[in-house]
Amino acid sequence: MTFKHLIKANQTYFEHFQDSLFYFRKSLKATFYFFVHALYPDLFEFSGSKEIFELHEAIVNKYKKEE
């Protein structure tokens, strides 16, 4: 089976799988921090935002390499 997205992304299935899992883990971690922070505002004041920033940086750097 050929995936058009993998061709556009210039990745193998396994490379794409790894990237997607990395994004998933970062997003899930940020979600956890935001949820706990919503319940108890003194906890994880900047942790969720830090995870989102790191995820953004990883994605930006990935696309810079492809150019």
What is the residue range of 31's domain? 17-66
- CB-based contact 9:20 (threshold 8 Å): no
- Give residue 57's identity as a one-letter amino acid code: E
Q: What DSSP assignment string belongs to 14-28?
A: HHHHHHHHHHHHHHH
Asked if the structure places residue 22 within a domain, the reply is yes
- CB-based contact 16:6 (threshold 8 Å): yes
Quick one: pLDDT at residue 66? 66
Asked if the structure places residue 58 within a domain, the reply is yes
Quick one: pLDDT at residue 22? 97
As given in the structure block, the two tokens for residue 18 are 């790894």
Asked if the structure places residue 10 within a domain, the reply is no
One pLDDT digit (tens) per residue for the chain, 67 residues = 889 999 988 999 999 999 999 999 999 999 999 999 999 999 999 999 999 999 999 999 988 876 6
**Domains held by the chain: number:** 1
Asked if the structure places residue 62 within a domain, the reply is yes
Give the residue carrying structure tokens 């319940």.
39
12, 48, 64: which is closest to 20 by C-alpha? 12
Asked if the structure places residue 29 within a domain, the reply is yes
